[in-house]
């Protein structure tokens, strides 16, 4: 519950990061596949809170990315449950490291992503949602490496993550990959997630843009380090 609270606070502040922090920790006590399912259920529940507001603030690209991601999520989910747990942990760690490296790449001032880049981002986000519960690695660099207002970037990311959480949860239920225990676990963790997200959203309105972007980079670095340490552990 403490981990869920902290992860949700980070989500409220950064606009992402709940799954990146929560999945590896939950996977310490349940199988990686179940951890992804629970995380996506929590993402759907918290994403519905304030959904209309973030939709109105975010870019139109969020709808396209989220829509494509929803189509690809079931494929990622099937791949996850067909992969041995040990290998799944390795691949999830690689995903976390890749996200950090991508954000370190030079920004592209004035760059306007085309349809191809937007489509590839959506497809990758969907596959990673199903496989790792982490749509962030392709989505965060898509918005953070461009000089757009942080409010727009955050709202766009939250919109995408709501759609991917809905797709993953629906696919898990339809494919019989989610159990009543997963749903119960998610419901038990929702109260600390709701509280953490609320406090994180309040903090977002009080930090400057440079501080916010620095925090996002630090978050990705910390998640990558945590994933690597867990592998060696």
Separate counts of helices (H) and strands (E) for the chain: 11, 0
Instruction: Confirm whether pTM is higher than 0.85.
Output: no
- pLDDT of res. 233: 60
- pLDDT of res. 198: 94
Q: For residue range 137-172, list pLDDT tens digits in order.
A: 788 888 887 888 889 989 999 999 899 889 888 888
Whole-angstrom distance, CA of residue 35 vs CA of residue 28: 9
- pLDDT of res. 36: 82
Q: For residue range 58-73, list pLDDT tens digits in order.
A: 999 999 999 999 999 8
- pLDDT of res. 193: 95
Whole-angstrom distance, CA of residue 84 vs CA of residue 71: 24
- Whole domain around residue 39: which residue ranges? 2-232
Radius of gyration of the chain (CA): 16
Q: How many domains does the chain have?
A: 1
> Which stretch of 60-69, 86-95, 116-125 has the lowest confidence by average pLDDT?
86-95
Residue 12: pLDDT above 80? yes
């Amino acid at each position: 519950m403490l981990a869920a609270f902290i992860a949700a606070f980070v989500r409220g502040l950064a606009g992402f990061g709940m799954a990146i922090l929560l999945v590896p920790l939950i996977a310490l006590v349940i199988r990686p596949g179940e951890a992804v399912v629970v995380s996506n259920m929590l993402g759907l529940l918290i994403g519905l809170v304030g959904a209309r507001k973030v939709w109105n603030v975010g870019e139109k690209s969020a709808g396209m990315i989220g829509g494509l991601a929803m189509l690809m999520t079931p494929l990622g989910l099937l791949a996850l449950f067909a992969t041995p747990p040990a290998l799944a942990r390795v691949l999830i760690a690689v995903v976390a490291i890749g996200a950090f490296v991508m954000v370190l790449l030079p920004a592209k001032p004035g760059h306007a992503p085309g349809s191809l880049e937007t489509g590839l981002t959506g497809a990758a986000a969907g596959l990673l949602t199903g496989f790792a519960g982490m749509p962030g690695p392709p989505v965060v660099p898509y918005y953070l490496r461009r000089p757009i207002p942080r409010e727009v970037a955050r709202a766009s990311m939250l919109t995408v993550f709501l759609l991917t959480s809905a797709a993953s949860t629906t696919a898990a239920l339809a494919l019989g990959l989610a159990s009543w225990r997963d749903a119960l676990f998610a419901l038990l963790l929702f109260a600390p997630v709701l509280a953490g997200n609320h406090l994180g959203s309040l903090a977002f309105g009080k930090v400057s843009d440079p501080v916010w972007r620095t925090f996002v980079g630090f978050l990705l670095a910390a998640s990558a380090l945590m994933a690597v340490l867990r592998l060696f552990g």
